[in-house]
Amino acid sequence: MNEGLIKTGHDIIEKMFSDDGFSNGSFSIRCVSGLNLSIEKARDEVKFIFKENCPTATISKFIKLSVKVTGISLGKDGGTIMIDNFPDISFKYEWIK
């Protein structure tokens, strides 16, 4: 088992629950305590579906946009952040700094 990967995952989740959230480039995601979610295994991915107190994602490019995250899907090489009323955002693990 890759101890570095586990430590990185723990650090990212820890930051997501901080006041500033987890940031990577122009994207950040923040969770509140009392998060209600379900976890589903489908094929080669694991899905975290948020039911109440959904996390908030903020994208800062030309304008700052905050949206509700309805789920996160994690596969072998990357994942997808599912956003309410907006297109989903796909990512590769190698893009995370």
Structural domains counted in the chain: 1
Q: What is the mean pLDDT of each run of 10 residues along the chain (97 residues)?
A: 59 86 86 87 88 88 89 88 90 80
What pLDDT was estimated at residue 84?
A: 92
Give me the domain span that covers residue 27: 3-95
Question: Looking at residue 77, what is its pLDDT?
Answer: 85
Sorted by sequence, the CB contacts under 8 Å of residue 1 that are 6+ apart come out as none
* 71 residue type, one letter: G
Per the DSSP assignment, residues forming a β-bridge with 30 are 56
pLDDT (0 to 100) of residue 13:
83
Phi, psi of 3 (to 5 degrees): -65, -35
